[in-house]
Chain A
Amino acid sequence: MRPLLSVQGVSKRYGAHIGCADVSFDLYPGEVMGIVGESGSGKSTLLNCMAGHIAPDAGKVIFDTRADGPKDTVTMSEAQRRMLSRTDWAFVHQHARDGLRMGVSAGGNVGERLMAVGERHYGDIRGKATDWLERVEIDATRVDDRPTTFSGGMQQRLQIARNLVTGPRLVFMDEPTGGLDVSVQARLLDLLRGLVRDMGLSAIIVTHDLAVVRLLADRLMVMKSGRVVEAGLTDQVLDDPQHAYSQLLVSSVLQV
């Protein structure tokens, strides 16, 4: 099987400071990869390099495109990259505000990606938006309400609906449960797990919360100071961490 995403030697520096250094891994279709580490470990830099938000200094991010097969997204034109990011890719931000249009109704938020790829039937767009609201457990009567009137958990679920409506093949998630109450987190994780399973999504999830990766990720990478210090199957890494830093990370969670 061909990897959906192949990251090869990606590095990014900020002046003398290392963002991430020489990161390589493959992600296969239907697989969920978790990236964990404390803040400043480079996991968000890596995610943004992969998603095309920042340009890495070195390395390749090869995505298996529908039309042309594997292509390096770092060197492709911005037009192609932006096209990917509104069709085959999705990006769930930690703060729903960064991923939503707060002045646009819930239906408009979900419908935007459909319209961006050329859907021009109002009734169909609205129908799909309403369906998706229900799939993320938002009452369909809220379709014309703005996200400003939603709770934090609802906003996050709306952001997920907005991202998944076009059936992306790869979802990037940046601390998707960060900033939410514990009970709200649990519900969101449950929802995400269901969606990942039902849609056969491939995803890369950056988080500092080991509970999130335990529940969602098939494989895990542990990052420290911009480098991957350990990688493997999620259960393996969490239950029998080899690297001292991974051990520390796991034990600090267990103490809580």
Chain B
Amino acid sequence: MYVAVKGGERAIESAHAWLAEERRGDTNIAELSLPQIREQLKLAVDRVMAEGSLYDPDLAALAIKQSRGDLIEAIFLIRAYRTTLPRFGASRPVDTGAMDCDRRISATFKDLPGGQVLGPTFDYTHRLLDFKLAAESEVPDAPTREVSSGAVPHVTEFLNQEELIESAPHDDTPPPDLTREPLEMPADRALRLQALTRADEGFTLGLAYSTQRGYGRNHAFVGELRIGAVTVEMDIPELGFAVEIGEVTLTECETVNQFTGSKSEPPQFTRGYGLVFGQSERKAISMALVDRALRWEELGEDYVGAPAQDTEFVLYHADNIQATGFLEHIKLPHYVDFQSELELVRKLRREAGEEQFQEAAE
């Protein structure tokens, strides 16, 4: 005797309880605290803030804890939370030229005003497992030196003085807001950059890598990569002036790309740009490469059919929250659609069978 399935509600509740238990794991092991995540898994926190489009290390740490370390799930939690936040206004554009740099390197000049600062990078570590870390040892303090603080000029400005690089004139047009307006094509550069800065790191990396391997190659050099804190200022209408409301850490990458000139433009270098919340240079460099690849049209280059040149392809598939939701929705029940397919296949097979039978009879 068949009884229609009931009890979805109870099943969901039980699943949630089990999930909570699994999240905690063995209770003999100390529980993770949010400050531990925030301080010791900082790069994970940074990624969640960048792709979640919300700068709040404590909330990002909570999301990572709640999601059991599944960063896309954590990004999802942050995005859903972000939806509910009221919007008080927009900050002034941040000035990355005034960044208090922890790291600042250029691949195009050996030395330059402001100097090369390696900063806290994995770059020259040998990737050997450090078993001392397993013993939870304290680390000695890193050496320090005095630096002259103050604005560090952007490398591309040196090229700009000679007009060797395309000019990027100041533009006060308010950018479109991807989170308040539907994404519609054609997308201008401001909108593309906005989509890329919160795009999935892996997807952006893969696309950027594909341009290096010849799918829309544009010969990028890292003109400059800088990481550090910038102040955020906001105009307060009641006061009539801007006040500092906080500080965010950003990673900025400007690429210098080869360009041979077109029928209308003299030969000069062109730019790709990446800017990401937190310390995430892989993402920032990838973003700059993809940004540059998407600019083929305005620069009069050929469309060679490379995925990274295809704005619709890139922008419609870069968001990991959209992608993961749609991908995973195929595990929801589809028995109604499946049933109709089942009947169609049976019908077609029956007819094919009859035809064969008839042919055999003839």
Chain A residues within CB distance 8 Å of chain B:
14-17
Q: How many angstroms from the CA of A16 to the CA of B300 in the assembled complex? A: 13
Closest residue of chain A to B264, judged by CB? A15
The A-contacting residues of B in range 249-300, CB under 8 angstroms, are: 262-264, 300
A residues less than 8 Å from B262 (CB atoms): 15
Closest residue of chain A to B300, judged by CB? A15
B residues less than 8 Å from A14 (CB atoms): 263
A residues less than 8 Å from B263 (CB atoms): 14-17
The 8 closest A-B pairs by CB, nearest first: A15-B263, A15-B264, A17-B263, A16-B263, A14-B263, A16-B264, A15-B262, A15-B300
Q: How many angstroms from the CA of A15 to the CA of B261 in the assembled complex? A: 12
The A-contacting residues of B in range 291-349, CB under 8 angstroms, are: 300
Shortest CB-to-CB span from A45 to chain B, Å, is 14
1/0 per residue, CB under 8 A from A, across B171-195: the answer is: 0000000000000000000000000
Q: How many angstroms from the CA of A54 to the CA of B268 in the assembled complex? A: 29
Closest residue of chain B to A17, judged by CB? B263
A residues less than 8 Å from B264 (CB atoms): 15-16
Shortest CB-to-CB span from A53 to chain B, Å, is 15
Q: How many angstroms from the CA of A69 to the CA of B300 in the assembled complex? A: 38
Given A14-B263, A16-B263, A17-B263, 5 more pairs with CB closer than 8 A: A15-B262, A15-B263, A15-B264, A15-B300, A16-B264
User: Could you pull out 8 A-B pairs where Cβ atoms are within 8 angstroms?
Assistant: A14-B263, A15-B262, A15-B263, A15-B264, A15-B300, A16-B263, A16-B264, A17-B263
B residues less than 8 Å from A15 (CB atoms): 262-264, 300
Q: How many angstroms from the CA of A15 to the CA of B264 in the assembled complex? A: 5
B residues less than 8 Å from A17 (CB atoms): 263
Q: How many angstroms from the CA of A16 to the CA of B264 in the assembled complex? A: 6
Q: How many angstroms from the CA of A16 to the CA of B263 in the assembled complex? A: 6
Q: How many angstroms from the CA of A8 to the CA of B264 in the assembled complex? A: 27
Closest residue of chain A to B262, judged by CB? A15
Shortest CB-to-CB span from B331 to chain A, Å, is 30
Closest residue of chain A to B263, judged by CB? A15
The A-contacting residues of B in range 92-148, CB under 8 angstroms, are: none
Q: How many angstroms from the CA of A14 to the CA of B300 in the assembled complex? A: 10
Shortest CB-to-CB span from B162 to chain A, Å, is 24
Closest residue of chain B to A16, judged by CB? B263
Shortest CB-to-CB span from B87 to chain A, Å, is 38
Q: How many angstroms from the CA of A177 to the CA of B264 in the assembled complex? A: 34
The A-contacting residues of B in range 44-86, CB under 8 angstroms, are: none
Q: How many angstroms from the CA of A195 to the CA of B133 in the assembled complex? A: 82
Shortest CB-to-CB span from B301 to chain A, Å, is 13
Shortest CB-to-CB span from A78 to chain B, Å, is 16
Shortest CB-to-CB span from A14 to chain B, Å, is 6
1/0 per residue, CB under 8 A from A, across B200-240: the answer is: 00000000000000000000000000000000000000000
Q: How many angstroms from the CA of A19 to the CA of B180 in the assembled complex? A: 43
Q: How many angstroms from the CA of A14 to the CA of B302 in the assembled complex? A: 14
A residues less than 8 Å from B300 (CB atoms): 15
B residues less than 8 Å from A16 (CB atoms): 263-264
Closest residue of chain A to B265, judged by CB? A15
Q: How many angstroms from the CA of A14 to the CA of B263 in the assembled complex? A: 7
Q: How many angstroms from the CA of A14 to the CA of B262 in the assembled complex? A: 10
Closest residue of chain B to A13, judged by CB? B263
Shortest CB-to-CB span from A20 to chain B, Å, is 15
Q: How many angstroms from the CA of A14 to the CA of B264 in the assembled complex? A: 8
Shortest CB-to-CB span from B99 to chain A, Å, is 38
Shortest CB-to-CB span from B303 to chain A, Å, is 15
Shortest CB-to-CB span from B69 to chain A, Å, is 43
Q: How many angstroms from the CA of A16 to the CA of B262 in the assembled complex? A: 10
Shortest CB-to-CB span from B263 to chain A, Å, is 3
Shortest CB-to-CB span from A185 to chain B, Å, is 29
Shortest CB-to-CB span from A11 to chain B, Å, is 16
Q: How many angstroms from the CA of A16 to the CA of B115 in the assembled complex? A: 43
Q: How many angstroms from the CA of A24 to the CA of B264 in the assembled complex? A: 27
Q: How many angstroms from the CA of A15 to the CA of B262 in the assembled complex? A: 9
Shortest CB-to-CB span from A122 to chain B, Å, is 17
Q: How many angstroms from the CA of A17 to the CA of B263 in the assembled complex? A: 7
Q: How many angstroms from the CA of A15 to the CA of B263 in the assembled complex? A: 6
Q: How many angstroms from the CA of A109 to the CA of B200 in the assembled complex? A: 40
Shortest CB-to-CB span from A57 to chain B, Å, is 14
Shortest CB-to-CB span from A18 to chain B, Å, is 11
Q: How many angstroms from the CA of A15 to the CA of B265 in the assembled complex? A: 9
Q: How many angstroms from the CA of A210 to the CA of B306 in the assembled complex? A: 37
Q: How many angstroms from the CA of A127 to the CA of B300 in the assembled complex? A: 47
Q: How many angstroms from the CA of A201 to the CA of B264 in the assembled complex? A: 41
Q: How many angstroms from the CA of A77 to the CA of B337 in the assembled complex? A: 41
Q: How many angstroms from the CA of A108 to the CA of B300 in the assembled complex? A: 37
Q: How many angstroms from the CA of A119 to the CA of B263 in the assembled complex? A: 47
Closest residue of chain B to A14, judged by CB? B263
Q: How many angstroms from the CA of A17 to the CA of B262 in the assembled complex? A: 11
The A-contacting residues of B in range 2-43, CB under 8 angstroms, are: none
Shortest CB-to-CB span from B298 to chain A, Å, is 13
Shortest CB-to-CB span from B62 to chain A, Å, is 49
